[in-house]
């Protein structure tokens, strides 16, 4: 296993990441139905394609700073500072509650004003808090810095801000765009997990936090100036449609999507809203749990920290490389049904991981983590497309933010409860099996979500919207 992980570190970090990025860019450049290539449209100044690149890097930093880096710090910080793992991980649970609270306001703000100013403030908050994590001495300091401040900064530059923005700039190609942008999340696992483990081993955990903070500021501050609210603000049309194409009826899908958009109040009156919120909330539990717990889980089983971080890297590779495939399928098939496939893959992979790690069946361990990444690859783009297709783009930030308190409370409790289970039982097996069961519950919930009647029948939503 050590030799395999060494190979992953040497080849995977650069080779697989480069292959994924090149493949994704090639895929983005494929001709559309009208025969024009995406790259050509970018050269013709459709700004939306630059926002895709910004979204990629923003999610790389935001999700990486909250989840992918923390596993490498678990044992060195808890052992030096004499904390339990549940106390350590409670910072991430606090963070999920903070994300729910801040997200409720962020979504509406992005709808009205865009994300540029928000991101400029957020990057300084995130970088400053990450730097100060290197000076932590007391548990309450860790909870405040990593749980409260890091999460606030990450929320101001992260998924909700950039994905709501992309949904306003793209309608017909949402699956493709959301998938490429979400590759930034997977690339965080490819790059930041091994980088964090290497830094902790080389310079210690305190200096490692300082180095990572400088990187956050260097990458995100320049990018924050690139954000724009919506194409209509600049005389442009979604999907890069030209005035000639709009005049010929080429923008019907975008126009209908805008006209049929549902407000926050209307969305809250549909059953679909709650099935989607709780379905994707339960389906994504495995991400928060495994990103935080994989390294200590592997170390407890007798593997090294490097091998544990290598499994996160391994998970990130299929998650990264499969996103263009997921995006291609999303644009051609029912995103709801594809979500059920992704949740099922997650459930199966977690069972495989538990059964193989406990027996040191290295080949099975590799297969389990590979499958986990494959399932993760579709979750973010699928969720973005489902939300936008069910409720429209006009008020999407407000609608999405209304669901955050529900879904993030689920996510907030999961890492803490997993660590609490470990502190009481001494292993993670039962907790991981429970996470697998939650993924199967997500299959049922999302399958019950029906598009709201007003959008299904093609009439603008008025007042009460009924799902079913």
pLDDT at 327: 77
State residue 434's pLDDT score: 95
Q: CA 160 to CA 156: how far, in whole Å?
A: 8
Counting Cα atoms < 13 Å in the Cβ hemisphere of 397 gives 27
Is residue 79 domain-resident?
Answer: yes
Examine residue 463 and state whether it is found in any structural domain, yes or no.
no
Q: What is the pLDDT of residue 239?
A: 79
- Residue 201 in any domain: the answer is yes
C-alpha 343/C-alpha 348 separation (Å) is 9
Phi-psi region of 37 (alpha: psi -120 to 50; beta: other; left: phi over 0): beta
Task: Report d(CA 350, CA 345) in Å as an integer.
Answer: 9
Instruction: Choose the weakest-confidence range: 80-94, 125-139, 310-324, 399-413.
Output: 399-413
pLDDT at position 29 over 70: no
pLDDT (mean) for 140-148: 94
Measure CA of the first residue to CA of the last residue in the chain; give whole Å. Answer: 50
More reliable by pLDDT, 112 or 126: 126
* CATH code of the domain containing 308: 1.20.1250.20
218 three-state secondary structure: helix
Q: How confident is the model at residue 432 (pLDDT cuts 50, 70, 90)?
A: very high
211 versus 163: the higher-pLDDT residue is 211
| Structure confidence at residue 14 as a pLDDT band (50, 70, 90) | low
In a domain, 9, yes or no: no
Burial of 453 (0-12, 13-18, 19+ CB in 10 A): middle
Most confident of 39-43, 163-167, 184-188: 163-167
Going by pLDDT thresholds of 50, 70 and 90, the confidence category of residue 406 is confident
Quote the pLDDT of residue 379: 84
User: Is position 16 within any domain?
Assistant: no
| pLDDT value of residue 242 | 78
Expressed as residue numbers, the domain containing 326 is 34-456
pLDDT at 361 over 60: yes
The pLDDT of 403-416, averaged and rounded, is 77
Of 146-155, 320-329, 339-348, 351-360, minimum mean pLDDT range: 320-329
DSSP string, 370-415: HHHHHHHHHHHHHHHHHHHHHH-STTHHHHHHHHHHHHHHHHHHHH
Cα 37 to chain centroid, rounded: 27
Predicted local confidence at residue 466, as pLDDT: 38
Considering the chain, what is the average pLDDT of its residues?
Answer: 83
Residue 20: per-residue pLDDT:
52
- pLDDT value of position 326: 84
pLDDT tens per residue, range 236-278: 888 788 777 777 766 677 777 777 888 888 989 999 999 999 9
pTM of the entire structure?
A: 0.69
CA distance 85 to 75: 8
| Measured distance CA(349)–CA(119) in Å, rounded | 36
In-domain check, residue 6: no
Instruction: Return the pLDDT at 23.
Output: 52
> Contact 404/160 with Cβ under 8 angstroms?
yes
**458 pLDDT higher than 80:** no
pLDDT for the residue numbered 7: 66
Residue 32 has pLDDT above 80, yes or no: no
Phi and psi (nearest 5°) for 393? -95, -20
Which contacts qualify for 229-234: CB closer than 8 Å, 24 or more apart? 229/110, 229/113, 229/114, 229/115, 229/165, 229/168, 230/114, 230/165, 230/168, 230/169, 231/47, 231/48, 231/168, 231/169, 233/114, 234/47
Provide the β-strand partners of residue 452.
Answer: 467
Q: SS3 for 235?
A: coil
Report the percent of the chain where pLDDT is more than 70: 88
Q: What is the model's pLDDT at position 118?
A: 92
Indicate whether 171 belongs to any domain.
Answer: yes
CB 188, CB 64: distance < 8 Å: yes
Query: CA-based angle 364:369:370, to the nearest 5?
Result: 95
Mean pLDDT of 329-338: 81
Total structural domains within the chain: 1
Q: Are 220 and 63 in contact (CB under 8 A)?
A: no
Residue 225 belongs to some domain of the structure: yes
Sign of CA dihedral 75, 76, 77, 83: positive
- Kindly state the average pLDDT of the residues 338-352: 93
């Amino acid at each position: 296993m050590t030799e395999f992980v060494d190979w992953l570190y040497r080849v995977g970090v650069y080779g697989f990441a480069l292959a994924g990025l090149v493949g994704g860019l090639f895929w983005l450049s494929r001709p559309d139905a009208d025969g024009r290539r995406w790259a050509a449209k970018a050269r013709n100044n459709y700004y939306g394609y630059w926002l895709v690149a910004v979204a990629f890097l923003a999610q790389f930093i935001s999700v990486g700073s909250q989840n992918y880096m923390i596993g490498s710090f678990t044992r060195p910080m808890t052992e030096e500072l004499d904390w339990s793992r549940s106390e350590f991980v409670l910072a991430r649970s606090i963070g999920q509650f903070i994300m729910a609270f801040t997200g409720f306001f962020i979504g509406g703000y992005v709808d009205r004003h865009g994300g540029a100013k928000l991101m400029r403030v957020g990057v300084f908050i995130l970088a400053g808090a990450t730097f100060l994590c290197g000076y932590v001495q007391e548990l309450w300091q860790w909870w405040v810095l990593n749980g409260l401040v890091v999460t606030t900064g990450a929320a101001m530059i992260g998924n909700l801000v950039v994905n709501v923005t992309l949904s306003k700039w793209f309608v017909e190609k949402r699956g493709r765009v959301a998938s490429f942008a979400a590759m930034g999340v997977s690339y965080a696992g490819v790059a930041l997990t091994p980088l964090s483990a290497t830094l902790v081993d080389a310079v210690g955990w305190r200096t490692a936090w300082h180095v990572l903070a400088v990187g956050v500021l260097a990458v995100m501050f320049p990018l924050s100036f690139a954000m724009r609210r919506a194409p209509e603000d600049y005389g442009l049309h979604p999907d890069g449609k030209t005035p000639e194409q709009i005049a010929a009826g080429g923008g019907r899908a975008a126009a209908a999507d805008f006209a049929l958009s549902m407000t926050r109040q209307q969305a809250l009156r549909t059953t679909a809203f709650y099935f989607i919120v709780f379905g994707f909330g339960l389906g994504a539990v495995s991400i928060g749990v495994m990103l935080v717990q994989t390294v200590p889980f592997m170390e407890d089983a007798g593997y090294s920290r490097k091998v544990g971080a290598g499994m996160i890297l391994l998970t990130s590779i299929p998650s990264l490389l499969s996103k263009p495939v997921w995006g291609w399928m999303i644009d051609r098939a029912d995103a709801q049904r594809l979500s059920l496939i992704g949740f099922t893959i997650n459930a199966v992979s977690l069972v495989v991981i538990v059964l193989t790690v406990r027996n040191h069946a290295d080949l099975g361990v590799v297969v389990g983590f590979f499958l986990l990444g494959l399932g993760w690859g579709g979750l973010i783009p699928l969720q973005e497309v489902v939300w936008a297709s069910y409720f429209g783009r006009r008020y999407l930030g407000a609608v999405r933010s209304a669901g955050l308190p529900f879904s993030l409370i689920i996510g907030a409790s999961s890492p803490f409860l997993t660590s609490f289970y470990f502190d009481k039982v001494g292993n993670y097996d039962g907790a991981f099996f429970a996470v697998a069961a939650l993924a199967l519950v997500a299959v049922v919930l999302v399958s019950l979500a029906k598009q709201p009647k007003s959008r299904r029948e093609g009439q603008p939503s008025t007042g009460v919207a009924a799902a079913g």
